[in-house]
Amino acid sequence: MKIAVVGATGLVGTKMLQVLAERNFPITELIPVASEKSVGKEITYNGKQYKIVSMQTAIDAKPAIALFSAGGDTSLEWAPLFAAAGITVIDNSSAWRMDASKKLVVPEVNGNILEATDKIIANPNCSTIQMVVVLKPLHDKYKIKRVVVSTYQSVTGTGVKAVAQLMNERKGVVGEMAYKYPIDMNAIPHIDSFLENGYTKEEMKMVNETKKIMGDNTINVTATCVRIPTIGGHSESLNIEFENDFDLQEVKNILGKAAGVVLQNDDENFLYPMPISAHDKDDTFVGRLRRDETQPNTLNCWVVSDNLRKGAATNAVQIAEVLLQNELLN
Name the DSSP letter for residue 194: B
Compute the distance between CA of residue 316 and CA of residue 123 in angstroms, rounded to an integer.
6
190, 234, 279, 301: which is the annotated catalytic residue?
234
Compute the distance between CA of residue 279 and CA of residue 261 in angstroms, rounded to an integer.
15
126, 139, 225, 301: which is the annotated catalytic residue?
126
Catalytic residue check, 139: no
Pairing of strands 234-242, 144-153: antiparallel
Going 285 to 287 to 291 to 293, the CA torsion angle's sign is negative
Catalytic residue check, 126: yes
Instruction: List the one residue out of 171, 131, 79, 139 whose CA is nearest residue 315.
Output: 131
For 111-136, give one letter per residue: b (16+ CB within 10 A) or e. beebeeebbbbbbbbbbbbbbbbbbb
In the sheet where 120-122 sits, what is the strand order?
Answer: 29-33, 2-6, 65-68, 88-91, 120-122, 103-104
Q: 3-state class of 202 per DSSP?
A: helix
- Residue type for position 114: L
For residue 311, CA distances in Å to 15, 16, 96, 213 come to 11, 11, 16, 14
The H or E element containing residue 112 is: none
Q: Which residues are part of the catalytic machinery?
A: 126, 234
